[in-house]
């Protein structure tokens, strides 16, 4: 099959998929009253109950249905959500939240402090590994009255207020879930939140429609009548729909990076890279340090010297990111620049391999390793190919292992890999999004997004404890700076690119990106300009 034929087929598939948008309700293509926002949702969520799953597409839709106690500005300053105010004791052990008094669940039941207590002390402790760590610091969580909740910590946890981001601590209706099997509760298929939009219709494989919640607690909000999330599996179809104005919003990597600047140049679209500060992902390679030759630090260093970070940023991500220097992004808190830097240096990489006794053999090959390819689209296929090409220059043959999402997650969790790519989120603080990958106590086989590299260092464990429990930012910075200097010398990973996710937005809409979680927000303020 020729390249031209393949290109034509892809284009026709895209046009065909976009044509299906015509089957939507009339409101999906015509604006009236508060208006309709059409957005891309890819891939289709497995569920719209945020308590069961928190992947990107689930957050995109459920962020309009569910809420937490707080929101966060672009600099991570906490802002009111379901809590209108809060106080923190001088010793950092007591947090008291005053809740809004006019919020109701979508079924009309009042939202009260009992919902917060149930969510944080029961539901999340069973269902949410990240929240379990945060609320595990609590000695007690109690309702002082219907609209006041007190969290009493047994030990200081500096980023505690950062734990009320929507995907970390979504409020769950106690009257529908207490005493039930959370995973099989029939309400999972008809999500009930307190958010500005309610689920109206879900045609699987086609679209999800949410409509205005007229009883929303935010005065005069929301402004839109409805939001329709279009399920478009084909990347060409997503680009065509955005280009032709049939959808007005794309986010994350809905659109392949190579197509972003072309679409951003269209007069009806604008590019926004704000709104991902809370996530701040770093595209990286994780090494399984349990297996040879990755158990030798010299081998891991050689790979770090051989990889050209500028090329990854420019060629794979098309300028949507900058070269990374370590595990903490410079877009979030406690970044340290004074660390071991791995400039592209093939000679140094070869010297390290020679020291190990990995000398070139037939065809100049020193050793062969396997790379478990991340299955989230063509960007990661090209990423793996570039790793293969660049390591070949120092005599390391890379055999790429393809996978699907289920098999990748299973193999990653079970440590069944030599190296793989990943780009997990940082969640605004190293204690929330970074420590989980390096703490020896978090080496948990069978659980994804834990310490899968098998890295162990007692001093790093100690530094993370200091960083999590110290209240003064200066003390926290000192601990995290030392951690970054240690880890960039031990290199259980190769950090390559601090990724800037792109949002493409129709210029007729405003107040869409208003916080550090961007499109995952409620859209309570979003409106037609």
Are 65 and 195 a contacting pair, CB within 8 Å? yes
**Distance between start and end Cα atoms, the chain:** 47
d(CA 350, CA 345): 9
> Where does the pLDDT of residue 33 fall: very low under 50, low under 70, confident under 90, or very high at 90 and above?
low
Query: pLDDT of 290-335, one tens digit each?
Result: 999 999 999 999 999 999 999 999 999 999 999 999 999 999 999 9
Q: What is the fold of 3-45+58-65+195-276+502-528?
A: D-Maltodextrin-Binding Protein; domain 2 (3.40.190)
Q: Is the pLDDT of residue 30 over 60?
A: no
If DSSP codes are grouped into helix, strand and coil, which group holds residue 422? strand
Query: pLDDT of 385-442, one tens digit each?
Result: 999 999 999 999 999 999 988 899 899 999 999 999 999 899 999 999 999 999 999 9
The pLDDT of residue 13: 45
Query: pLDDT of 127-165, one tens digit each?
Result: 988 898 899 999 999 999 999 999 999 999 999 999 999
Q: Which residue reads 């981001």 in tokens?
A: 165
What is the pLDDT averaged over residues 344-354? 98
The continuous run of DSSP H or E covering 468 comes out as helix 458-469
CATH 3.90.76.10 in the chain, residue ranges: 70-177
Q: Is the pLDDT of residue 365 over 90?
A: yes
Q: What is the fold of 282-499?
A: Dipeptide-binding Protein; domain 3 (3.10.105)
Specify the CATH number of the domain 70-177. 3.90.76.10
CATH 3.40.190.10 in the chain, residue ranges: 3-45+58-65+195-276+502-528
CATH 3.10.105.10 in the chain, residue ranges: 282-499
Are 33 and 487 a contacting pair, CB within 8 Å? no
Are 83 and 97 a contacting pair, CB within 8 Å? yes
CB environment 330-364: b (16+ within 10 A), e (fewer): ebbbbbbeebbebebeeebbbebbeebebeeeeee
The pLDDT of residue 21: 62
Q: Is the backbone of residue 33 left (phi > 0), alpha (psi -120 to 50) or beta?
A: left
Q: What is the pTM of this model?
A: 0.85
């Amino acid at each position: 099959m020729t390249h031209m034929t393949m290109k034509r087929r892809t284009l026709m598939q895209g046009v065909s998929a976009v044509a299906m948008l015509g089957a939507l309700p009339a409101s999906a293509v015509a604006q009236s009253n508060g208006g309709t926002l059409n957005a891309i949702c890819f891939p289709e969520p497995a569920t719209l109950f945020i308590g069961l799953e928190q992947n990107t597409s689930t957050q995109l839709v459920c962020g309009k249905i569910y809420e937490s106690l707080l929101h966060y500005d672009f600099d991570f300053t906490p802002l009111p959500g379901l809590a209108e105010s809060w106080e923190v004791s001088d010793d950092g052990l007591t947090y008291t939240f005053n809740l809004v008094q006019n919020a109701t669940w979508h079924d009309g039941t009042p939202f009260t402090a009992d919902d917060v207590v149930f969510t944080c002390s029961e539901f999340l402790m069973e269902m949410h590994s990240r929240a379990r760590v945060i609320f595990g610091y609590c000695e007690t969580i109690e309702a002082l009255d219907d609209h006041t909740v007190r969290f009493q910590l047994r030990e200081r946890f500096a980023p505690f207020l950062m734990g009320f981001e929507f995907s970390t601590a979504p409020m769950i209706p106690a009257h529908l879930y207490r005493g039930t099997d959370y995973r099989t509760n029939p309400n999972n298929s008809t999500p009930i939140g307190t958010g500005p939009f309610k689920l109206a219709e879900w045609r699987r494989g086609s679209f999800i429609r949410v409509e205005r919640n007229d009883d929303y607690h935010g005065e005069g909000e929301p402004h839109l009548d409805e939001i329709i999330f279009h399920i478009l599996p084909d990347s060409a179809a997503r680009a065509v729909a955005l280009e032709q104005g049939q959808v007005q919003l794309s986010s994350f990597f809905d659109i392949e990076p190579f197509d972003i600047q072309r679409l951003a140049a269209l007069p009806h679209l604008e590019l926004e890279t704000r709104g991902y500060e809370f996530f701040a992902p770093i595209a990286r390679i994780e090494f399984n340090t349990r297996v040879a030759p990755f158990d030798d630090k010299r081998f891991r260093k050689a790979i770090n010297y051989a990889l050209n970070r500028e090329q990854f940023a420019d060629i794979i991500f098309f300028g949507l990111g900058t070269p990374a220097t370590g595990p903490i992004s410079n877009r979030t808190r406690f970044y340290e620049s004074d660390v071991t830097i791995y400039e592209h240096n093939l000679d140094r990489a070869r010297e390290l391999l020679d020291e190990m006794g990995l000398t070139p053999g037939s065809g100049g090959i020193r050793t062969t390793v396997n790379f478990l390819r991340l299955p989230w689209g063509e960007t990661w296929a090209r990423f793996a190919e570039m790793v293969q090409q660049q390591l070949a220059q120092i005599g390391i043959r890379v055999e790429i292992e393809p996978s699907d999402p289920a098999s990748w997650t299973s193999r990653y969790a079970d440590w069944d890999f030599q190296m793989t790519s990943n780009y997990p989120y940082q969640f605004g603080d190293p204690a929330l999004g970074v420590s989980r990958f390096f703490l020896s106590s978090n080496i948990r086989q069978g659980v994804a997004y834990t310490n899968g590299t098998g890295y162990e260092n007692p001093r790093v464990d100690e530094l993370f404890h200091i960083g999590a429990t110290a209240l003064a930012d200066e003390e926290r910075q000192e601990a995290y700076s030392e951690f970054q200097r240690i880890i960039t010398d031990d290199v259980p990973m190769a950090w390559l690119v601090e990724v800037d996710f792109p949002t493409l937005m129709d210029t007729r809409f405003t107040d869409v990106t208003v916080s550090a979680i961007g499109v995952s927000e409620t859209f309570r303020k979003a409106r037609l300009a």
